Amino acid sequence: MSLERTTEQRLLADAATRWIADADTLGAEARWRAIAGFGWLAVLVPEADGGLGRDLADACALAEALGAGPAPDPWLPVAVQAAGLLAACTDAALRARWLPALADGALRVVPATHERGGRGRARADATRARRDAGGWVLDGIERTVPGGDGADAWLVAAVTGDEGPAVFVVTPGLPGLRATSVDTVDGGRACRLDLEGVRLGDDARLAGVGAAESARVDDRALVVACAESVGSMDALLRETVAYLRTRVQFGRPLAANQALRHRVADLAIALEEARSAALAAVLALEDAARGGDDRAHARAAAGARAKVGAVARRVAEEAIQLHGGMGVTDELRIARHLKRQLALDAMLGSPDWHLRRHATLRTATETTR
């Protein structure tokens, strides 16, 4: 991968940048129809399944532009996570049923996996699947499914026992399934899923999608989220600099204060460090995928999110402080950027959690050498 964006990536990012500037005037459904109409849901869907078949770098270029919004639309869980899980499925019939419809926006498919920050420790209410009468029975709770409110299907991860982790397509209206709407901190919509004796056929399981495949999809989502956070930080820095240059206090603009200029310079350096970390993660994931090294794949994603997530939180909080009381109001996008970073942490895991994960993976790698 070149360190310079391709012409296609620049055009994609430019189109998203122009659209996101006016996206606030649209309602949630209108925004989603626009996202689908632009083909942005199809970016990572293979061409054979009705998508554009682009790579991770293209998705990151788009995510960075969308991060300037920030719009709380479920593009990340649908276009990256759900599309990735379905694309990894080896059942051609199931792929044909869901992937083309996801790519053109006809159906919204959302992953309902265990909270990222909670992985690694057992949950008593984690979804479990057991064999019964030639099919499956699911029981458990998915507490928060980002973008899951009003979805046409959820991809539910479950523990199956002897057959290992599995992912199932669960559709609304099934007996024993209850979906409850939930508001998210960034202004989006989510849901809680309660599954009690939900019966599914064998064809509802994503064949060939186990723990390793799910982990690779999660890692790619982490890197795309890093790109979104970089776009958010870039917008925050630009808006903060503009404010400091125009806000006059005691007869001179705030930007004349040397201490404030130093703080902004520090944020600019932090932004470029985060941008480099996100770019390096794309390269590392591609190298690891070519070499079939799942541990290196996971380590690169965890390290990137630990770095970028922490920097994004810092930049958003500093931007709010530099705006003073105005920074916390809904009239400005500043506070919404912070809320979006909090939502990403809740969905994908906090920077501290990923830092610990990176350390564990690094130690394991060194031990095996």
CA trace torsion 293, 295, 297, 299 (10° rounding): -150
Closest CA to 83 of 47, 111, 55, 112: 111
Region for 121 from its dihedrals, namely left if φ exceeds 0, alpha if ψ lies in -120 to 50, beta otherwise:
beta
Q: What residues does CATH 2.40.110.10 cover in the chain?
A: 110-204
Residue 117: predicted pLDDT: 44
Whether the full predicted model's pTM is greater than 0.85, yes or no, is yes
Burial class (CB in 10 A: 0-12, 13-18, 19+), 128: middle
Identify the CATH number of the domain defined by range 110-204.
2.40.110.10
Q: What residues does CATH 1.20.140.10 cover in the chain?
A: 211-360
Residue 90: predicted pLDDT: 97
Q: What residues does CATH 1.10.540.10 cover in the chain?
A: 7-108
Identify the CATH number of the domain defined by range 211-360.
1.20.140.10
Residue 162: predicted pLDDT: 78
Architecture of domain 7-108: Orthogonal Bundle (1.10)
Residue 121: predicted pLDDT: 42
- Given a cut of 50, the residues of the chain with pLDDT beneath it are 116-122
